[in-house]
Amino acid sequence: MAAPSDQKATIIDGKAVAQTIRSEIAEEVRLLSEKYGKVPGLAVVIVGGRKDSQSYVSMKRKACAEVGIKSFDIDLPEQVSEAELISKVHELNVMPDVHGILVQLPLPKHINEEKVLGEISLEKDVDGFHPLNIGKLAMKGRDPLFLPCTPKAIILYSCLINCGNLI
């Protein structure tokens, strides 16, 4: 039988932690702007009008505004063709003021998500879904450019890291 523990649970104030992180990021953005005359830019691409996706993207855009990151809002209709979406991704890849690209998933059924995500420049893929980034996640001793932040990607990352001893 285990002995009783003298440790007590610590309650974490998530809102306070989030505010601290936002403040730190805002300061880093300010310093980047002062030192280099550049502000980080995030392009968020959303296809269609799914309420859950719209809400999630709205929160991302609000977070960018709070910390001083320039937000490039790309809202495309549900019927957009895969070729048009990929063309938009290619435009964002070469825009110097766009430092990160995020394509909100899921995409409509007529669009191949894997193909679209593979077209995002590796250096600008903030979700970490580019095939080369996923490959680096799976390889022991390799550092991906971006660690995934979505729950689905975190699960994948955890599985890859935990299986890393097999690689």
The pLDDT assigned to 9 comes to: 81
For residue 43, give the 3-state DSSP assignment: strand
Where exactly are the structural domains of the chain?
Answer: 35-125, 127-167
Backbone φ, ψ for residue 113 (5° rounding): -60, -45
Q: Which of 88, 104, 124, 136 is catalytic?
A: 104
CATH topology of domain 35-125: Rossmann fold (3.40.50)
Give 125's DSSP letter. Answer: B
pLDDT digits (tens, 9 = 90+) for 96-144: 999 999 999 999 999 999 999 999 998 898 887 777 766 666 656 656 5
Cβ-contact 166, 158 below 8 angstroms: no
For residues 73 and 51, give the distance between their C-alpha atoms in angstroms, rounded to a whole number: 16
**Portion of the chain with pLDDT greater than 70, in percent:** 75
For residues 100 and 72, give the distance between their C-alpha atoms in angstroms, rounded to a whole number: 10
The pLDDT assigned to 107 comes to: 96
Q: How confident is the model at residue 155 (pLDDT cuts 50, 70, 90)?
A: very low
Strand (E) or helix (H) holding 151: helix 151-162
Name residue, tokens 């957009």. Answer: 80
CA 82 to centroid of chain Cα atoms: 21
Q: Of 84 and 133, which is predicted with more confidence? A: 84
Q: Of 17 and 163, which is predicted with more confidence? A: 17
Residue 152 designated active-site: no
Q: Which of 88, 124, 125, 127 is catalytic?
A: 127
pLDDT digits (tens, 9 = 90+) for 4-25: 667 788 888 888 888 888 899 8
Residue 73 designated active-site: no
Residue 60 designated active-site: yes
